Amino acid sequence: MNMRAIALATILGLSAPTITEFIIKTPVVAQARVPLGTFQGGEWSVTINYSNNALTYYGTNQRTGDNLVLRGAKVRGNPQRRLYIWQNGDYQYQVAWRPNDPRIIRLQVFNPAGQEILNRLLYEN
C-alpha cells in the first residue's frame, strides 16, 4: 500500500467537511406560508394551528375569558398579503398576514351587515 496516498486521502477526507462549509452557503430558511402560532395585542389573543388539512382559529378575550374556536379557513389574497377567513354564523373573522412581516397579524371581525366591528394588530407571542 502506498502510505502517502492513504495519508493524503485521510487528510482530505477529514478536511472536506471544513472546506465545504466555506464553499457551500447555508440555505436561507424558507418563509412560513401560514401564520401559525399565538399572536396577542391588548385584550385579544389568537392562536392559529394547522391540523388534519385545515386551519383552526382559537380566539380568546383576555379580559373576559371568552373564547371561540373556528375551523376550516378560506384562503385568499396574493403572495404579499394573505387573508384567512373563518365564518361564525353570520359573523366573519379575518386574519390578514404578510409573509415579509410574519410576526404580525391583523384581526378583523365583521358583523352580519358587513360592518367591521374589530380591527387590531396582534403580535407573535
Domains contained in the chain, number:
1
Q: What is the pLDDT of residues 37-87, one digit of tens each?
A: 999 999 999 999 999 999 999 999 999 999 999 999 999 999 999 999 999
What local confidence, expressed as pLDDT, does residue 33 receive? 83
Contact at 8 Å (CB) between 56 and 37? Answer: no
Q: Averaging pLDDT over each range in 2-11, 32-41, 62-71, which range is the top one?
A: 62-71
Residue-number span of the structural domain to which 116 is assigned = 37-124
Structure pTM?
Answer: 0.73
The verdict on residue 53 lying in a domain is yes
Reading the block at residue 56, the C-alpha cell is: 383552526
The continuous run of DSSP H or E covering 121 comes out as strand 116-124
Contacts of 11 (CB under 8 A, 6+ apart): none
For residue 80, the domain's CATH number is 2.40.128
